[in-house]
Structure 1
Amino acid sequence: MRRWTWAVGPLWLAAALFAGCDDDEAAVVDAAQQADVGPDTAVDMPDAGPADAAPPVEQPACDPLDPGSCTLPWPSNLYLVEDDSRATGYALRFADTALPASLATGNPVSPALFSHLDGYGLGTPIMALFPDLDPTQLPDETAIPDSLAEDAAAVLLEVTGDGVRRVPWFVDLDAQAAPGSQRATLLRPAEVLKPATRYVVGFRGLRTEGGAAIMPSEAFAALRDGATDDPALAARQPRFDEVFALLEGAGFARGDLTLAWDFVTASSDALTGRMRSMRDQAFETVGEDGPELVIDEINEYLPADDGSGAPWNPYVALRYKGHFRAPHYMKLDEVYQEKQGYVFNLDEDGRPAQNGWREDVTFYVSVPHGALDGTPHGLIHHGHGMFGDGRDAADLGWTRLCGKYPPRECGWYHGRVDQNHQFITFAGDLKGMSQEDRDEYALTILTDINKFPWITDRLHQGMLEYLLLQRAMMRRFGSLPEVADRGIVINPDENYYWGISQGAIFGSTFLALSDDVHRGVLSVAGVNYATLLDRSRNFEPFFAILAGVYPERIDQLVLMAAMQLLWDGTDGVSYVRHLSADPFPGQSPTQVLVDVARGDYQVAPLTMETVARSGIGLKVLAHYDVDRDVPLVEPVDYPYVGSAMTNWNFGNAWAAPGNVPPEEDPAGDPHENARHMDAMNAQMAHFFRTGEIIDVCAGAPCPDLTDVEGAP
């Protein structure tokens, strides 16, 4: 059901229009060109003159441009309300009843959850419903260069004061829609969008599978043809006239358009400001050396089984468990289904405010046998996997992959890295997406997305505790009597991060925020959950619950896009630009080595390929794959100094295009394989200490299995 009662101010008057380039001077350039990284500034708008005095116009709660669903097309400019106090000049304001309602509670998703935003996220899907669309008109992820063709049926334009640029994209025609139902068209940007930037979307000449023309909606046709007699539509006409002019400059004739609109991305401050505020406040509170560390438990291990029954491990000598205090920026939310989660504790300006302390923040440290002779060892901060915890860093008895292809020693991959390369590994729990959060309420909150901040707000607290632990390990751990008295020496110049899976997704965030670590390895990495979720087998149980209370598939897609707006505060998609292209104020650039796995069941390589196309510092190394390169990206040769990504092929096929998880493959899930490979670990250790990425695969795609019996 569509709802139509929402009054707003004069958003669509000419005063709210963006500044655009002159038609004759609009520069439509190849989107493969490296993007300039400029300051995060407000979007310019021209003076509208007398129109400023026009009275407010009542706007509908739903956007009539796409009658298929209330908030389509997504991201709709209907909900960008003029606000001169915001960096972009806009505030994101959904109508009270615009977003889907839960069958469990009857409550639509509250617009208050998004009140801090001044635009949409940098990885937002672009969605519309075109009945019975012929999918061959729009390139999928295997044909991204076709999106830049002059005769393409769609276009995505980046609009700045310097002109207009075509952005590459691909389309998912929703593969998870029920048979016979309408399938949403998801146009996904093939690069990370820029903050505080205007984008224009246009579709033209679309046809059904039977070859018939898809007609524009009544509302869009009125705007396109300049025949708006409805006051609400008429108020939007000046903005759309500018959209049409920009599209005509790009070769998209106004009369050919099936649908077109524009939107604005959020500023960096809106996306990352709460997280950075918490970081700065917390370090001012605890001091430059970070929080004091307390050791609660020490486990000792012999290097081999001596027959006495004493614990032994070939790599790990000591396992510490401890805790520290951290400033707390959360408060308890109201009880829901007998559960009670945490949400931001905000001051009157909407910034996180300290609300006491988290008294018992747990951490773990794994020390190899080689550190007991006083040889200085570097520190590796481990970022754990999906809904895991810090115990992963001390992987004693990690044997669930023993005997599985490819050949490797049984388990203990962290311990082997530490012993072979002189590191000490430590970790904590990423609150918000730790095992505790999964067990407590991860499934419950899906019955009402108004509770999703129990995950996304708390992720800010978890990330803060990662940052505090990093500083304390650097400055305090080595001087603890439980450590120093055993002759363990920390190399103060070696501080690195290694995130795996979820730890790699949030690794970009940690590394962009920390000025203590300037080299990190992101294993089976990704960004932008809105793209990853449908392509991951991990989230199939979550989707089953979501579908039970939000049964309409289009509502599920809108919800995932809305959930991403909340995830954006900590998702790496908001932070990758700030690693090296545009570091946060006062911070130095950071290098990352990224590895992905062909055919990964859990984290699709697609999103890191998107980062590599974005011109923000991540390169793709030579010999990426035997079958294909990354579209629109020129590989760089080994050895390479800087940030770059590799692809590991364990015999899996590439996943078929589309927003579905990979099919079962005889090779099994390759997600965890590379981290167990000694070659990958040697590449990582060399990168950590030198910043240089070396070839460990004999001038061919990784891994080098030429001497392995049975390898593909």
Structure 2
Amino acid sequence: MRLLPVVALIALVVVPAPAAAAQPAGCDPLGSGTGECLLPFPNDWHTRPDPATPTGRRLALTPDVLPRNALGSAPNPTPWNRADGFSPGSTLIAHVPGLDPATSGLAPVTDIGRSLDADAPVVLLDAATGERWPHWAELDANDPQRRALLVHPARNLRDGHRYVVALRGLRDAAGGAIVPNPAFARVAGPDLAEDDPLRARQQQLRPALAALAAHGVDPRAAHVAWDFTVASTRSLTGDLFTIRDDALRELGSRAPASTVTGVTDFTPEQDARIAREITGRVTVPSYLTLPGGLPGSVLRRASDGTPRRSLFGPVDAQFRCEVPRSAFAQPSWPALYGHGLLGSRSEVGAGNVKAMAAEHGFTFCATDWIGMAQDDIPVVLAALADITLFAAIPERSQQGILNAIFVGRALAHPQGLVAHQAFRTDDGRPLVDTTRPLVFDGNSQGGILGGALVAASPDVRTAVLGVTGMNYGVLLNRSSDFAPFHQVLDLSYPDRLRQQVVLQLLQLLWDRGETNGYANHLGDRRVLMHIAFGDHQVANVAADVEARTIGARLVTPALAPGRSPDRVPHWGIEPARLPHAGSAMVVWDSGTPAPPTTNTPPTEPEYGRDPHSDPRSSVDARRQKAAFLTTGLVVDVCGGAPCTAPPTG
């Protein structure tokens, strides 16, 4: 990706912001002194009652409380304020000067089970059920100065539930007790006078403090405590499911309109695996604001915020399909492929995809993940310079998911693509067996966005998510891919504490276009996760969170003894007994060192070569994927031992 010229251009226009203004009136007084109005985060202080939403609340952010970039630009809060709560995977952020994780006994990523100890210093509590939620806590390793405290849920929080957070027994590096937050000490104490500036905060927090006390946590002994509401299922999935339902209602039982634009036949000498490559387009209803759904589009909305049809008519979802040689003897299985980070449909022509098609009889078709495709790179960079522009990424991505649904329907429908001569032999026999169910295989970004597609598609019930994870708010700091994008973020939001707030605000919108917002609803789908141990691009910890959330079982033994730094490797993921009928996670080990235990990326040479491409390049991994996609069973292809993938490249 040629990003540096764009980064340099942004550098020319980004200048240092003027001195910070006084703390805005809407800031939480519990975060006073941090310089970040939204801290602690996420936080119901920044919501308002709304009886029209499933949670009874709605975000109430204002331009004054949102983080400004280096040019002093105030974000427009409208996209965020459509939500009735916060992300189910939101990282909790607080600033505690002098905090030492080790002496305080915070649960690290290597010992998540410790977070549920009765005396755990971080309490994350479901206010309705009293359930303590597993998590890990760390200081931001990217910030040598203020070092935000980051608390990550070890599995996604429940849609629509309210949670209470308490920090207690915190200590500095010398073991000395850290003085409680002064504002919180007053809020947690006796009733304040009507004219006291903290009176409103005390009244708002009373139910949360009562919930803590009811479940054995003394709020008066806490350093600070606060509460927040997780967005409802309708808030998280409503936009995508609305456009899906509207588009499919009009389509009915028909196949989407499609056109074949190119057919290339290969001799065995030209390509021993693929006999025919087909390109074309499928017509899809558009819900975007710009003609043709161009990059930078957002969803067109009615006055009540509901997505509605574009004024510019439908869009064309361009596709590319790879037909294996075996399909000319026996019709192939219909399959969608999901491409990688800011890539394109052309990745369906990669060697590993061709090998999967040829070895196991799949015709793979791909369309661009618009919103997160190659053409969107300038929009992504601009959005990191000014978060007001960010809604264009997840909202265009939702149209991209709808496009994939339509391409998949066209591929699997008996009157769809198979009706074109390009998808038939010379004597008229179909090259794709439309009596077989449509399946999905995606890698990297194709896996991260693929979970949302699988949740939304009425046709895909079985999928492989390769080298996957979810929740970009957690992934970005831990990905080697993020380095050039981080340059833009450093220019536009140079304060690293502010960056953590920005990443979580972005995740609030990203939930609607990636697996994180849909993971709680993948339980009725069969999903096989293939993970590269020590992956430099998609962090293993994010895959573990996804597996716990969707209820995937772990194929064991997952790693050879001593390979994982965790006290209990893959904590909280139940083992699978093979063959296993249902969702599962398989870890493929190429010998790469274990990844960092901090929120930083593994990079060469310290962390060895990147194993990101190894699982999909393994014959055994492809054999396991094919068995799963065609039978729904996870089978043993590693002889009862930990799975290993030969290094590639």
- After alignment, is 662-671 or 650-659 more displaced? 662-671
Q: Distance in 2 between matches of 1:695 and 1:609?
A: 20
Post-superposition CA distance 1:654-696 (Å, at most 9, x none): 1121110013256410001110111001101111111110111
In the other structure, the counterpart of 2:365 is 426
On the 8 A contact 1:283/1:290 being kept in 2, the answer is: no
**2:283 corresponding residue in structure 1:** 325
- Equivalent residues in 2 for 1:135-154, closer than 5 Å: 135-136=101-102, 137=104, 138-154=106-122
Aligned residue for 2:14?
none
| Contact 1:383–1:503 (8 Å) recurs in 2 | yes
2:473 corresponds, among 530, 536, 550, to: 530
2:417 matches 1:490: no
Deviation at 1:141, TM superposition (A): 0.5
Q: Which has the larger displacement, 624-633 or 293-302? A: 624-633
Shift, 1:369, TM fit: 1.1
Shift of 1:246: 2.2
Q: Which moved more, 1:219-228 or 1:318-327?
A: 219-228
Residues 226 and 237 in structure 1, CA contact (< 8 A), matched pair in contact too: no
Deviation at 1:109, TM superposition (A): 2.0
Partner of 1:8: none
Distance in 2 between residues matched to 1:573 and 1:670, nearest whole Å: 24
Task: Report the 3-state secondary structure (helix = DSSP H, G, I; strand = E; otherwise coil) of the residue aligned with 1:417.
Answer: helix
Q: How far apart are the structure 2 equivalents of 1:241 and 1:4?
A: 24
Deviation at 1:635, TM superposition (A): 1.4
Aligned to 1:244: 209
Change (3 A) 1:608 1:248: same
Candidates 113, 117, 120, aligned match of 2:86: 120
Cα deviation digits, residues 614-662 of structure 1 (max 9, x gap): 4x43111111112343113331222111001010110012112111001
Provide the residue aligned with 2:571 in structure 1.
631
One-letter amino acid matched to 1:319: E
Alignment pair present for 1:571 and 2:527: no
**CA displacement, residues 257-294 of structure 1 (integer Å, 9 cap, x when unaligned):** 00101110000101110000011111223443342110
Cα distance per residue 1:181-221 (max 9 Å; x no partner): 11100011111110000101001121122333222333211
- The structural deviation recorded for 1:489 is 3.1
Identity level (%): 33
Give 1:340 deviation, angstroms: 7.1
Secondary structure of 1:61's match?
Answer: coil
In structure 2, the partner of 1:215 is 179
Letter in 2 for 1:389: S
Q: State the match for 1:110 in structure 2.
A: 76
- 2:530 counterpart residue number: 595
Over 3 Å counting, the alpha-carbon distance change for 1:242 and 1:392 in structure 2 is same
Structure 1: which amino acid aligns with 2:575?
Answer: P
Q: 1:2 Cα shift?
A: 6.0
Note the alpha carbon deviations across 1:118-170, whole angstroms, 9 max, x for none: 0001100101000021111212100101111122111101122xx31011110
Answering whether residue 322 of structure 2 is matched by residue 366 of structure 1, we say yes
The separation in 1 between residues aligned to 2:510 and 2:417, in whole angstroms, is 32
* 1:347 aligned to which of 280, 289, 302: 302
Q: Is the 8 A contact 1:293 1:477 kept in 2?
A: yes
In the alignment, the residues of structure 2 paired with residue 113 and residue 377 of structure 1 have an alpha-carbon distance, to the nearest angstrom, of 43
- Within 1, Cα distance between the matches of 2:49 and 2:581? 44
Q: Is the 8 A contact 1:289 1:472 kept in 2?
A: no
Please report how far the alpha carbon of residue 172 of structure 1 lies from its aligned counterpart in structure 2 after TM superposition: 2.0
- Secondary structure in structure 1 of the residue aligned to 2:93: strand
Moved over 4 A (4+): 2-5
| C-alpha contact 2:423 2:432 (8 A) present in aligned 1 | no
For residue 55 of structure 2, the aligned residue among 88, 94, 104 is 88
The aligned counterpart of 1:267 is 232
**Is this contact kept in 2: 1:3–1:98, CA < 8 A?**
no
**1:704 offset after TM fit, Å?**
6.9
1:399 corresponds in structure 2 to: none
Change (3 A) 1:141 1:564: same
Q: Does the 8 Å CA contact 1:3/1:61 hold for their aligned counterparts?
A: no
Match of 1:621 in 2: 555
Structure-2 residue corresponding to 1:609: 544
Structure 1's unaligned 5+ residue stretches are 6-59, 305-311, 334-338, 396-411, 581-588
Between stretches 510-519 and 628-637, larger displacement belongs to 628-637
Q: Distance in 2 between matches of 1:527 and 1:318?
A: 34
Q: Distance in 2 between matches of 1:422 and 1:456?
A: 33
Does the 8 Å CA contact 1:91/1:115 hold for their aligned counterparts?
yes
Q: Does the Cα contact within 8 Å between 2:47 and 2:59 map onto a contact in 1?
A: yes
Correspondent of 1:78 among 45, 50, 53 = 45
Q: How many residues align?
A: 609
Return the offset for 1:227. Answer: 5.0
> Quick one: which amino acid aligns to residue 222 of structure 2?
L
What letter matches 2:534 in structure 1?
G
1:350-385 Cα shifts (integer Å, max 9, x gaps): 111111334432100100111123x12101100000
Measure the CA separation in 1 of the matches of 2:630 and 2:536. Answer: 31
- The Cα shift of 1:4 comes to 5.2
Give me the whole-angstrom Cα distance separating, in 1, the residues matched to 2:514 and 2:423: 35
Structure 1 residues 332, 226: CA separation in 2 closer, same or farther (over 3 Å shift)?
Answer: farther
State the alpha-carbon separation in 1 of the partners of residues 206 and 82 from structure 2: 29
Other-structure match for 1:43: none
Corresponding residue for residue 693 of structure 1: 634
Q: Deviations over 1:302-332 (max 9, x none)?
A: 112xxxxxxx111011101101222111113
1:192 and 1:380 map into 2 onto residues whose CA distance is 29
Greater CA drift, 642-651 or 347-356 = 347-356
Residues in 1 aligned to 2:211 and 2:251: alpha-carbon distance in whole angstroms:
51
Amino acid at match of 1:328: S
Q: Distance in 1 between matches of 2:396 and 2:74?
A: 22
For 1:479, which of 419, 432, 452 is the aligned residue?
Answer: 419
Residue equivalent to 1:289: 254
Partners of 1:281 and 1:255 lie apart in 2 by: 52
Q: Which whole-Å CA distance do the structure 1 matches of 2:499 and 2:50 have between them?
A: 30
Provide TM-score, normalisation by structure 2.
Answer: 0.91
- Measure, in 2, the Cα distance between the counterparts of 1:680 and 1:529: 26
The alpha carbon displacement at 1:231 in A equals 4.6
Q: CA contact under 8 A between 1:687 and 1:693: conserved in structure 2? A: yes
Amino acid of the structure 2 residue aligned with 1:171? A
In 2 relative to 1, CA 170–671 (structure 1 residues): closer, same or farther, beyond 3 Å? Answer: same
Superposed displacement of residue 485, structure 1: 4.6
1:503 aligns with 2:446: yes
Task: Tell me the CA shift for residue 96 of structure 1.
Answer: 2.2
Q: Distance in 2 between matches of 1:561 and 1:456?
A: 14
- Tell me the secondary structure at the aligned position of residue 407 of structure 2: helix
CA distance in 2, matches of 1:79, 1:359: 38
User: CA–CA distance in 2 between the matches of 1:376 and 1:452?
Assistant: 43
Aligned to 2:98: 132
Paired residues for 1:447-462 under 5 Å = 447-462=385-400
Determine helix, strand or coil for the equivalent of 1:669.
coil
Task: Give the letter aligned to residue 298 of structure 2.
Answer: V
Deviation by residue 1:512-550 (Cα, 9 ceiling, x = unmatched): 111201110000011111110100011111111111011
Match of 1:446 among 366, 377, 384: 384
Equivalent position to 2:219, from 240, 254, 262: 254
Distance of 2:77 and 2:326 partners within structure 1 = 55
Displacement, 1:608? 2.1
Q: Which residue in 1 is equivalent to 2:7? A: none
SS of the residue corresponding to residue 186 of structure 1 reads: strand
Structure 2 distance, partners of 1:196, 1:3, is 34
Indicate if the aligned counterparts of 1:433 and 1:455 stay in contact, CA closer than 8 A: yes
Letter in 2 for 1:652: T
What is the aligned partner in structure 2 of residue 641 from structure 1? 581
Match in the other structure for 1:413: 352
